[in-house]
């Protein structure tokens, strides 16, 4: 009987993990996120730390097994590995990140046992969010994929994002989950909990009506180019001229736009190889037509053996931005020299880039400074918040072609929407294969190009000024509150010992 009970909880844990991922794009069932966490928190109750760790690990396998399955496509289809090697590496990747829900389960039960399970409905949300922060910021340069708040961009809780950011909003998701569990279990204060949850969600709906930032100019016409060049064809030498001709011809057809954006590494060559015969004439034409062109390409400094993933502005106001937050195992290799030896033996050759400086000046287009992020950088709000006071809009260039026709482009777009909502700025997002979009300051998609089609998306943006409350404070107040709550949960045991 006990064995059957354990099997039920194990299956429920995996099921809850799958439900959690279904809350995110492209499935978009956001209300499943608090439901899934309620089920997860239920599996931790009245059990040992060992059982909680195992059940939460199974939750992680269910969630990440579905949610980051696109890693296989990147390794197998475009990394050149066999299906066996790609499968093993994907399984390792999923298993590694599943450790973090397991850690949350272990700590939650451990803390509850220390204080005789007092405050049990507060413990799980606090621990869950602190572990999300650990995963999203501190391990392997951060992996903030499938974090709770991203699932809530189209619910009333989105109203809290400009106020307390992703971690504060994620805490409210987890708190809702814990409250729902208490209500179902007929807690003595269930009516108070019902009122509290209704107040939290109702306040979120009201907050959505507040405009935190203001326009500072007239609408600007913009065009975003989507070349739809598959990753296995992009860097072939015989395709370079055709690629450059396509982007040049599409640019020349849209000289009436004030800003034209090309996607990440849309120029499949180093700056030194194309500067004289391609970029300089294009820059002169842009200046003549009073158009700002944002292009992306690698820069190779052979004198010091450094390579940068970079964005350049052409036209009247020129400049260069070098990517600062590099992708582990894609643009640099952590755990050296072990990781390098393993990947070399597997026959995988990855680009090794150098980080750009954190104090780079903002690029300008159409007379306005803007914040640049390259691909994965848009998952880290600190890169956007620090220089925001002088920026009128955001531009992200991305190449999600590495992941084919998987769920990854939809998830990445969800992350980009969060940055627009946090900052109260328009976001132009130009990608190679999709999703190329224009997002408004409320995090809503104004227009979007079809995926996997060579096309140009043309619309307008409005330059904005002002700061949201979260842009003023950043993560520190929310993290400080979570740490205070965490330490408070440990106090009863400390007091008894004294």
User: In this model, does residue 350 exceed pLDDT 80?
Assistant: no
Q: What is the pLDDT of residue 305?
A: 79
List the domains of the chain with CATH numbers: 2-211+476-497 (no CATH), 214-467 (3.60.110.10)
User: In this model, does residue 1 exceed pLDDT 50?
Assistant: no
HSE (CB half, 13 Å, CA atoms) of 285? 15
pLDDT in tens, 78-105: 777 889 998 999 999 999 999 999 999 9
pLDDT in tens, 158-215: 999 999 999 999 999 999 999 999 999 876 788 889 999 999 999 999 999 999 999 9
User: In this model, does residue 338 exceed pLDDT 70?
Assistant: no
Rounded CA-CA distance 490/175 in Å is 19
Average pLDDT over residues 322-340: 68
Residue 35 contacts residue 19 (beta carbons within 8 Å): yes
pLDDT in tens, 395-438: 999 998 888 889 999 999 999 999 999 999 999 999 999 899 99
Residue 359 contacts residue 321 (beta carbons within 8 Å): no
Rounded CA-CA distance 261/313 in Å is 9
Q: What is the pLDDT of residue 351?
A: 59
Pairing between β-strand 319-322 and β-strand 363-365 as defined by DSSP bridges: unpaired
3-state SS, 306-333, equals: EEEEEEEEECCCCEEEECCCCCECCCEC
Place of tokens 């598959």: 230
pTM, two decimals, is 0.92
Active-site residue numbers?
264, 323, 375
Helix ranges (H only) for 154-307 are 161-184, 190-207, 231-234, 240-252, 271-274, 280-288
Residues in Cβ contact with 494 at an 8 Å cutoff, skipping those fewer than 6 apart: none
Q: What is the pLDDT of residue 2?
A: 57
Burial (CB count within 10 angstroms: exposed 0-12, middle 13-18, buried 19+), residue 44:
buried
Q: What is the pLDDT of residue 492?
A: 58
More confident residue, 348 or 39: 39
Q: Residues of the chain with pLDDT > 70: what percent?
A: 92
Q: What is the pLDDT of residue 498?
A: 47
Q: What is the mean pLDDT of the chain?
A: 91
């Amino acid at each position: 009987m006990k064995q059957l009970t354990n099997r039920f909880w194990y299956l429920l844990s995996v099921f809850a993990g799958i439900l959690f991922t279904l809350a995110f794009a492209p499935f978009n069932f956001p209300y499943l996120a608090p439901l899934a966490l309620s089920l997860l928190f239920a599996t931790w109750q009245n059990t040992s730390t060992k059982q909680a760790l195992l059940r939460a690990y199974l939750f992680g396998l269910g969630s990440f097994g579905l949610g980051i399955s696109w890693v296989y496509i990147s390794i197998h289809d475009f990394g050149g590995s066999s299906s066996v090697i790609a499968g093993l590496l994907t399984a390792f990747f999923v298993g590694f990140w599943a450790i973090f829900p397991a850690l949350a389960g272990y700590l939650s039960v451990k803390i509850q046992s220390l204080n005789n399970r007092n405050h049990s409905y507060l413990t799980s949300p606090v621990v869950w969010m602190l572990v999300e922060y650990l995963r999203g910021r501190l391990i392997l340069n951060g992996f903030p994929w499938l974090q709770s708040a991203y699932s809530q961009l189209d619910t009333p809780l989105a109203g809290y994002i400009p106020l307390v950011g992703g971690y504060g909003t994620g805490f409210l998701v987890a708190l809702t989950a814990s409250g729902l569990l208490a209500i179902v279990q007929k807690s003595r204060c269930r009516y108070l909990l019902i009122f509290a949850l209704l107040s939290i969600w109702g306040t979120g709906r009201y907050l959505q009506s507040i405009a935190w930032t203001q326009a500072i100019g007239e609408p600007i016409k913009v065009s975003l180019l989507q070349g739809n060049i598959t990753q296995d064809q992009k860097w072939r030498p015989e395709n370079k001229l055709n690629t450059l001709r396509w982007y040049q011809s599409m640019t020349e057809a849209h000289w009436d736009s004030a800003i034209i954006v090309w996607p990440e590494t849309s120029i499949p060559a180093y700056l030194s190889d194309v500067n004289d015969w391609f970029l300089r004439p294009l820059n002169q034409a842009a200046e003549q037509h009073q158009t700002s062109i944002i292009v992306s390409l690698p820069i190779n400094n052979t004198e010091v053996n450094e390579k940068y993933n970079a964005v350049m502005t052409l036209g009247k106001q020129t400049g260069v931005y070098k990517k600062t937050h590099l992708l582990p195992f894609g643009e640099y290799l952590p755990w050296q020299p072990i990781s390098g030896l393993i990947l070399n033996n597997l026959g995988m050759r990855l680009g090794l880039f150098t980080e750009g400086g954190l104090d780079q000046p903002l690029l300008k287009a159409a007379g306005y400074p803007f914040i640049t992020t390259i691909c994965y950088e848009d998952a880290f709000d600190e890169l956007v918040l620090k220089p925001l006071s002088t920026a009128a809009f955001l531009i992200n260039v991305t190449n999600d072609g590495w992941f084919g026709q998987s769920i990854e482009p939809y998830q990445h777009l969800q992350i980009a929407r969060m940055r627009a909502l946090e900052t109260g700025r328009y976001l132009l997002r130009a990608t190679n294969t999709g999703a190329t979009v224009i997002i408004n300051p409320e995090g809503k998609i104004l227009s979007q190009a079809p995926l996997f089609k060579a096309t140009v998306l043309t619309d307008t943006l409005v330059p904005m000024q002002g700061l949201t409350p979260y842009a003023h404070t950043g993560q520190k107040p929310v993290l400080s509150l979570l740490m205070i709550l965490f330490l408070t949960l440990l106090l009863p045991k400390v007091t008894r010992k004294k």
